[in-house]
Amino acid sequence: MPRRVRRRIRGRFHHNCFKPCGIPGHDLEYEVLTKDEIEAIRLADFEGLYQEDAASQMEVSRPTFSRILNNARKKIANALILGKAIEIQNF
């Protein structure tokens, strides 16, 4: 069973879903980003922190942060390329 560790999430997100224009939500497939993944995107891409610094803020190891960030980027790319909606989990 995977180990569950509480991670520090500081970002405040005002929207929990993004979708392509002109297509009703019920007709779309969704990519779901976890709170960890959106926080990793915020720290690395929006704030511009190095992975070591971002990992320290989330209180995870650098390899764990890198894995979370790569998963998030893959989901976002998949949604953009294939026209899926992006939903942020647990808001």
Q: What is the pLDDT of residues 6-46, one digit of tens each?
A: 555 565 666 688 899 988 888 999 999 999 999 999 999 99
pLDDT tens string 38-91: 999 999 999 999 999 999 999 999 999 999 999 999 999 999 999 999 998 875
pTM reported for the whole predicted model: 0.81
Question: Looking at residue 90, what is its pLDDT?
Answer: 72
3-class SS shares of the chain: helix, strand, coil, % to 5: 50, 10, 40
The backbone region for 26, taken as left when phi is positive above 0, alpha when psi lies in -120 to 50, beta otherwise, is alpha
Q: Where are the domains of the chain?
A: 34-88
Question: Looking at residue 12, what is its pLDDT?
Answer: 60
Q: Cβ contacts of residue 31 below 8 Å, gap of 6+?
A: 75, 76, 78, 79, 84, 85, 86, 87
Tokens at 7, concatenated = 């991670």
Q: Which CATH class is domain 34-88?
A: mainly alpha
Question: Looking at residue 16, what is its pLDDT?
Answer: 83
